[in-house]
Amino acid sequence: MTQDTLAQIFGWMTVINFAMLAIMTAMMIAVKNWAARLHAALFDLDPQDVRQSYFTYLANYKLLIFVFCLAPYLALKLI
């Protein structure tokens, strides 16, 4: 596998993951109260704790995209 092929793979991985992050963020904004009530009822949690978990999940996902997709892509492009 060549360096250009790896760069393309990591580039597309980054694009796809950021698109998924944008979709998940839009969904959380659009249906946050309904989803929080549903998940709170399913797992016997406070809806406010569920909303905090959503925020933490999205923040962690974004960091993982930076570390495992974007950083390797940029490193391959800089070589």
**pLDDT tens, position by position, 29-56:** 999 899 999 999 999 999 999 999 999 9
Tokens (6 digits) for 66: 């930076």
Contact 10, 76 (CB under 8 A): yes
- The pLDDT > 90 percentage for the chain reads 99
Task: Read off the pLDDT band of 63 (50, 70, 90).
Answer: very high
Tokens (6 digits) for 38: 């549903």
CA dihedral angle for residue 11, residue 12, residue 15, residue 20, rounded to 10 degrees: -140
CA–CA distance, 17 with 36 (Å, rounded to integer)? 23
Give the number of domains in the chain: 1
Supply the pLDDT for residue 42: 96
Range of the domain at 40: 3-78
